[in-house]
């Protein structure tokens, strides 16, 4: 029987990217002064898993390089070679080359014949550093852990093991964790636990087992060896063992990845002191940097519980649909209430299904954040700076599409913070700061959006220099006196760069404007707050999903607009006494003693026949970027989830509008971008007063 | 959508041994920890954990579920290697880690 291995190859390549990211993070965490065997084992396992699969898919160059990486790691954990900054650098470099090889394999490109030859020789030499260390002592067979599966092993069998303990298992003195560890000794395992049956604390009986597992095991051991592991629990569990090995014409069958460690390895603090060794300054431009490039992601890992929820939802939908069909077959008016009830249920199930589908796409931002410690480390070395990166909120979830598009802007902002923000240790000491600069990278959910902050304690933006540059480039009139925040925002102007020299880190003049444009294209915005001499903070706010939003439909004249619910604080029907006109600031509304600027949507979008008197209209109090405004509209039509359609695909960006949608009656309605509206109000008012 | 968990909740230290034998004490402690009203979050200091059984991990899963249902969060601080390995070996994702 022949089998198409290409799907497994794709899975292997996707896992290689994960393993390489994991390896990088662990190498970054490695304390060379006190590297524990566990840390080295974890890195070893990454290399080993990649090597195993490489053999299975004929990627000899990957297998060969990872084998030498293993050799050095083995020497390190055996104490034959002392861990050092140089050995970590070497392993990171090798990891980068493996990444290039994996990318080439993914793209079907042949790698240059001598790619990685130098690093391979260096690794081998480092591994042989201890006297009497011969290739034979580095052989895989001598390693006690992890279990060895080499490409020489023919046709390992793959098994799917369903292990569902009875609730009484703990009372029999059996311990699942020991069983799973025993199983892992037979080969490579991928363990998936099901925690859905675990109740909350109020009803949980701690002596009962509510967990169950599916384990994929790749082993050359016979079935009897697997059953032997479960020998003592066969009467206390539901055990299903299925051989899922796919026979191929070649000697090696399906290769399974090694067990994935915790999904979110901790990377709280990474110190990035300059490397002692000289570092080449001829790095490639960031956009082409293979080390920090984002792998093309075509698949995502989804928690089985989420899939189960989807299946349940579909089941509910089918039942409701069948019920409605039955009702309609012989419908009479006395069944109207049943029909309405059914429709209401259908609506609820549709909504739940939608939520379940959307949740499948939600992924933690960790995958993007995890690349940053290495970036900062490399930049610190390149720039001779001492930079500490502190990351918070890596588990914050956001739509996969947002994550994929987030990497480039984030990389660029971090680069800028390292290059332009953090000063050299000598300068920092002169200023009375600590020699080590800090960049804080954080993510959090706020108001239905994800907010990412990049805060540094560097020099901040030199406003005098920025203004001078803007004037020299003709971006600002020579006699204009922009406000401080307007000067700060000038770094987002196209082609703006204050770098005296174009560097390969940043300052190529194509940076922050692209960042702003990319973020805006995702329906987000970026703000900067700057304290000269003390640092700057970039705040990026993005929608959690790019597909659907909860909106309030409002009428202005004959036009309907969508106001994102996430931005709405409250709605008001003001009296005339509540509205004041302030000189230079336009109309404001008094809301419990706070004066909030009013935005007349009819005026902003030039809609005819709209109310100009707020007392005859409704005011929707909205907030964006910590700025509040009152939108003056004629009527609230209703709340609805809307599917976002991009305007930019067919038209230029429209200020104040983030997209459009099609309503139930077929009408097109514009979705308002609240952050733009507050700014538009300011400029409209200013123009009105100027006129 | 929930905001970031509060960072000022004091961490509760987990004992070095967390097994079925100590499960009764643990669940009693966890129930007290989980009592804090809507949005209540808990930080567990897992730096001293040396032995962690399936039953104990199940209790942590239940604590997380209880807190999440109430709009809160469970955070783990300073997870020891044994703690991490136990979760990994059981194929269960580690709860969100709190920076220490």
DSSP notation for A503-521? -SSS-SS-SHHHHHHHHHH
Torsion angles phi and psi, residue A594, rounded to 5:
-105, 130
What per-residue confidence (pLDDT) applies to A275?
Answer: 35
| Fold held by A6-141 | 1.20.120
Angular region, A594: left φ>0, alpha ψ -120 to 50, beta rest: beta
Question: Per-residue confidence at A139, pLDDT binned at 50, 70, 90?
Answer: very low
Cα A185 to Cα A220: distance, rounded to the nearest angstrom: 11
Q: Which residues in chain B are contacts of A209 at CB distance < 8 A?
A: 54-55, 58
A507 and A416 Cβ atoms separated by less than 8 Å: no
Model confidence pLDDT, tens digit, residues A295-350: 444 567 777 888 888 888 888 888 888 888 888 888 888 888 888 988 888 888 88
Place of tokens 């600069």: A437
B54/A176 CB distance under 8 A: yes
Asked which of A461-465, A519-523, A620-624 is least confident by mean pLDDT, the reply is A519-523
Please give, rounded to a whole number of angstroms, the shortest distance from the CA of B48 to a CA of chain A.
Answer: 16
Which residues of chain B are within 8 Å of residue A447 when distances are taken between CB atoms?
1
A130 touches chain B (CB under 8 A): no
Subunit contact A200:B62, Cβ cutoff 8 A: yes
Nearest by CB: B54 against A175, A199, A262: A175
Percent of chain A clearing pLDDT 90 (strictly above): 15
Among chain B, residues having any CB pair with chain A shorter than 8 Å are: 1-4, 20, 23-24, 26-27, 30-31, 34, 52-55, 57-59, 61-63, 65-66, 69, 79, 81, 84-94, 96-97, 99-100
Q: How far apart are CA A240 and CA A243, in angstroms?
A: 10
Cross-chain Cβ contact B23/A36 below 8 Å: no
- Tokens standing for A60? 């000899």
Which residues in B lie closer than 8 A to residue A256 (C-beta atoms)? none
Domains of chain A, residue spans: 6-141, 151-273, 304-362, 366-543, 548-683
pLDDT tens for each residue of A342-387: 888 888 888 888 878 877 878 888 888 888 888 898 889 888 999 9
Own/partner pairs for A283-289, CB < 8 Å, 24+ apart?
A: A283/A378, A283/A382, A283/A504, A283/A505, A284/A504, A285/A504, A285/A508, A286/A411, A286/A412, A286/A415, A286/A504, A286/A505, A286/A506
| Cβ neighbour number for residue A397 with a 10 Å cutoff | 19
Please state the three-class secondary structure of A519-584 as a single string.
HHHCCCEEEEEEECCCEEEEEEEEECCCCEEEEEEEEECCEEEEEEHHHEEEEECCCHHHEEEECC
Closest residue of chain B to A264, computed from CA coordinates: B94
**Residue A42 near residue A145, CB atoms below 8 Å:** no
Q: Which of A42, A25, A41 is nearest to A95 (CA)?
A: A25
Question: Which of A45-54, A409-418, B91-100 ranks highest by mean pLDDT?
Answer: A409-418
Average pLDDT over chain A reads 77
How close does chain B come to A282, measured CA to CA in Å?
36
As a whole number of angstroms, the distance between CA A402 and CA A361 comes to 10
Residues of B whose CB is below 8 A from A191 = 89-91
Q: Between chain A and chain B, how many beta carbons pairs sit less than 8 Å apart?
A: 119
Picking from A193, A206, A544, the nearest residue to B59 by CB comes out as A206
pLDDT at A504 exceeding the cut of 60 = no
Q: Is the pLDDT of residue A178 over 50?
A: yes
**B58, B89, B97 ranked by CB distance to A264: nearest:** B97
Task: Please state the length of chain B.
Answer: 100
Confidence of residue A678 (pLDDT cuts 50, 70, 90): low
Given a contact cutoff of 8 angstroms between Cβ atoms, the answer to whether A416 and A511 are in contact is yes
**What is the C-alpha separation between A194 and A198, in angstroms, rounded?**
9
The values of phi and psi at residue A69, to 5°, are -60, -45
Q: Which of A585, A587, A214, A415 is nearest to B90 (CA)?
A: A214
pLDDT for A562 equals 94
The C-alpha of B30 sits at a distance from chain A's nearest C-alpha, in angstroms, of 8
Q: In this structure, are residues A550 and A685 in contact, taking their beta carbons and an 8 Å threshold?
A: no
Give the pLDDT confidence score for residue A524 in this predicted structure: 79
Strand partners, A405: none
What average pLDDT does range A176-182 have in this prediction?
91
Which residue has tokens 């459009």? Answer: A660
Inspect the interface and report whether the beta carbons of A180 and B88 lie closer than 8 Å.
Answer: no
Scanning A251-280 for CB atoms below 8 A from B yields: 259-264, 266, 268-269
- Which whole-number Å values give the CA distances from B49 to A583, A672, B13, B14, in the listed order? 65, 51, 9, 7
Q: Rounded to whole angstroms, how far apart are CA atoms A197 and B65?
A: 11
Confidence of residue A690 (pLDDT cuts 50, 70, 90): very low
CA quadruple A199, A201, A205, A207: dihedral sign: positive
Predicted pLDDT of residue A191:
85
Which one of A190, A446, A544 has the shortest CB-CB distance to B3?
A446
| Residue A283 reports pLDDT greater than 50 | no
Note the residue count of chain A: 691
- pLDDT number for residue A268: 29
- Report pLDDT digits (tens) over A181-192: 989 988 888 888
* Residue B6, min C-alpha distance to chain A (Å): 11
* CATH architecture for segment(s) A548-683: Beta Barrel (2.40)
- The listed range with the strongest mean pLDDT (A274-278, A329-333, A625-629, B87-91) is B87-91
Q: Can you tell me the distance from the alpha carbon of A594 to that of A627, in angstroms, rounded to the nearest whole number?
A: 13
Query: Using one digit for the tens of pLDDT, what is the confidence trace for B3-60?
Result: 444 444 567 899 999 988 888 899 999 998 888 777 788 899 999 999 999 999 999 9
For the residues A135-150, what does the mean pLDDT come to?
Answer: 32
Q: With H, G, I as helix, E, B as strand and everything else as coil, classify residue A617.
A: coil
d(CA A411, CA A423): 19
Note the CATH architecture for domain A366-543: 2-Layer Sandwich (3.30)
Q: Cβ of A192 and B91 within 8 Å?
A: yes
- CB atoms closer than 10 angstroms to residue A350: 15
What pLDDT score does B85 carry? Answer: 92
Q: How far apart are CA A191 and CA A159, in angstroms?
A: 12
Say what angle helices A176-184 and B81-90 make with each other, to 10 degrees.
80
Main-chain dihedrals φ then ψ at residue A296, nearest 5 degrees: -70, 120
**Smallest CA–CA separation between B26 and chain A, in Å?**
9
Binned at pLDDT 50, 70 and 90, residue B99 comes out as low
Out of B20, B30, B54, the one facing A211 most closely (by C-beta) is B54
Secondary structure element (H or E) that encloses residue A179, with its range: helix A176-184
Inter-chain contact A259–B88, Cβ cutoff 8 Å? yes
CB A278 within 8 A of CB A286: no
Pairing of strands A449-456, A535-543: antiparallel
Could you tell me the domains of chain B? 8-98 (3.30.750.24)
For residue A71, name the pLDDT band (cuts at 50, 70, 90): confident
What sign does the CA torsion over A220, A223, A229, A230 have?
positive
Q: How far B91 CA sits from the closest chain A CA (Å)?
A: 5
pLDDT band of residue A472 (cuts 50, 70, 90) is: confident
Nearest by CB to B3, from A193, A202, A445: name it.
A445
Q: Do A209 and B86 touch (CB under 8 A)?
A: no
Residues from chain A contacting residue B87 (CB–CB below 8 Å): 262
pLDDT of residue A653: 67
User: Is residue A514 over pLDDT 80?
Assistant: no
pLDDT in tens, B2-13: 444 444 456 789
pLDDT mean over A137-162: 47
**Closest residue in A to B1 (Cα–Cα):** A448
* Residue A561: per-residue pLDDT: 94
The residue that leads in pLDDT, A255 or B65, is B65
- Which of B20, B65, B96 lies closest to A170 in CB terms? B20
Distance from CA of A150 to the nearest CA of B (A): 22
Q: What is the mean pLDDT of residues A209-238?
A: 87
Fold of A151-273: Alpha-Beta Plaits (3.30.70)
Question: CA-based diameter of chain B, in Å?
Answer: 38
List pLDDT tens digits, range A389-430: 999 988 888 888 788 788 888 988 999 899 889 999 999 999
- pLDDT class for A664, splitting at 50, 70, 90? confident
Which chain B residues contact residue A206 at CB under 8 A? Answer: 20, 23-24, 26-27, 55, 58-59
Residue B18's closest chain A neighbor by CA? Answer: A206
Contact present, A149 and A187 (Cβ < 8 Å):
yes
Chain A (151-210) residues lying within 8 Å, Cβ to Cβ, of chain B: 170, 175-177, 180-181, 184, 190-193, 195, 198-202, 204, 206-207, 209-210
- Residue B27 has its nearest CB partner, among A201, A215, A269, at A201
- Which chain A residue shows the shortest CA-CA distance from B86? A177
């Amino acid at each position: 029987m022949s089998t198409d291995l290409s799907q497994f190859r794709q899975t292997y390549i996707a896992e290689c990217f994960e393993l390489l990211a994991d390896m990088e993070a662990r190498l970054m965490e490695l304390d060379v002064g006190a590297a524990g065997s566990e840390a080295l084992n974890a890195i070893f396992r990454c290399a080993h898993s990649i090597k195993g699969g490489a053999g299975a898919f004929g990627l000899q160059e990957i297998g060969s390089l990872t084998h030498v990486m293993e050799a050095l790691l083995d020497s390190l954990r055996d104490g034959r070679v002392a861990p050092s900054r140089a050995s970590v650098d070497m392993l990171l470099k090798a990891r980068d080359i493996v990444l290039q090889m994996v990318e080439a394999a993914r793209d079907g490109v042949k790698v240059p014949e001598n790619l990685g030859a130098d690093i391979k020789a260096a690794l081998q030499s480092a591994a042989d550093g201890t006297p009497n260390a011969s290739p034979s002592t580095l052989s895989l067979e001598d390693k006690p852990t992890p279990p060895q599966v080499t490409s020489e092993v023919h046709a390992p069998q793959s098994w799917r093991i369903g292990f569902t303990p009875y609730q009484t298992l703990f009372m029999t003195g059996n311990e699942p964790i020991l069983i799973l560890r025993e199983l892992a000794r037979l080969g490579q395992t991928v363990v998936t636990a099901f925690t859905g049956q675990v109740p909350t604390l109020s009803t949980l009986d701690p002596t009962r087992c509510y967990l169950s597992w599916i384990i994929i095991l790749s082993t050359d051991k016979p079935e009897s060896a697997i059953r032997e592991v479960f020998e003592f629990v066969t009467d206390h569990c539901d055990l299903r063992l299925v051989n899922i090995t796919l026979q191929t014409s070649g000697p090696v069958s399906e290769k399974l990845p090694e067990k994935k460690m915790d999904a979110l390895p901790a990377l709280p603090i990474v110190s990035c002191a300059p490397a002692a060794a000289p570092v080449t300054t001829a790095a490639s431009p960031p956009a082409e940097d293979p080390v920090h490039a984002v792998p093309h992601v075509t698949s995502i890992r989804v928690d089985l519980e989420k899939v189960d929820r989807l299946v349940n939802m579909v089941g509910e939908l089918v039942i409701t649909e069948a019920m409605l069909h039955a009702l309609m077959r012989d419908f009479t008016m006395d069944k109207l209430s049943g029909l309405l009830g059914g429709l209401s249920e259908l609506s609820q199930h549709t909504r739940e299904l939608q939520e379940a589908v959307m949740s499948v796409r939600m992924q933690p931002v960790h995958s993007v954040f995890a690349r940053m410690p290495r970036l900062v480390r490399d930049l610190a070395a390149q720039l001779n700076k001492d930079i500490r990166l502190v990351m918070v909120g890596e588990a914050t979830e956001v739509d996969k599409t947002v994550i994929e598009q987030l990497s480039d802007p984030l990389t660029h902002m971090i680069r800028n913070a390292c290059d332009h923000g953090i000063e050299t240790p000598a300068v920092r000491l002169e200023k009375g700061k600590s020699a080590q600069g800090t960049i804080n990278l954080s993510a959090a959910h706020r108001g239905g959006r994800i907010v990412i902050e990049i805060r540094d304690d560097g020099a901040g933006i030199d406003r005098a220099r920025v203004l001078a540059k803007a004037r020299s480039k003709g971006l600002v009139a020579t006699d204009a006196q922009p406000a401080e925040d307007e000067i700060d925002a000038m770094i987002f102007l196209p082609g703006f760069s204050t770098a005296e020299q174009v560097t390969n880190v940043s300052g190529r003049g194509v940076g922050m404007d692209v960042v702003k444009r990319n973020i805006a294209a995702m329906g987000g915005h970026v703000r900067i707050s700057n304290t000269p001499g003390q640092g700057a903070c970039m705040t990026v706010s993005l929608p959690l999903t790019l597909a659907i939003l909860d909106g309030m439909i409002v009428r202005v004249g004959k036009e309907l607009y969508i106001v994102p619910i996430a931005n709405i604080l409250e709605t008001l029907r003001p009296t005339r006494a509540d509205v004041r006109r302030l000189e230079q600031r336009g109309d404001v509304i008094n809301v419990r003693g706070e004066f909030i600027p009013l935005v007349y949507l009819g005026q902003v979008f030039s809609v005819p026949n709209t109310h100009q008197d707020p007392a005859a209209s409704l005011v929707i109090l909205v907030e964006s970027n910590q700025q509040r405004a009152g939108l003056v509209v004629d009527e609230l039509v209703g709340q609805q989830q809307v599917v976002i359609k991009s305007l930019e695909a067919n038209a230029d960006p429209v200020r104040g509008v983030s997209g459009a949608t099609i309503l139930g009656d077929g009408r097109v309605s514009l979705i308002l971008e609240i952050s733009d509206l507050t700014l538009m109000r300011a400029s409209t008012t200013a123009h009105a007063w100027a006129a | 959508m929930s905001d970031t968990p509060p960072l000022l909740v004091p961490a509760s230290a987990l004992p070095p041994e967390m097994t079925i034998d100590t499960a009764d004490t643990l669940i009693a402690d966890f129930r007290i920890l989980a009592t804090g009203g809507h949005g209540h979050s808990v930080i567990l200091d897992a730096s001293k954990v040396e032995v962690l059984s399936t039953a104990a991990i199940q209790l942590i899963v239940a604590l997380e579920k209880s807190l999440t249902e109430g709009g809160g969060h469970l955070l783990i601080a300073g997870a020891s290697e044994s703690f991490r390995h136990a979760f990994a070996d059981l194929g269960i994702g580690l709860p969100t880690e709190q920076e220490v």
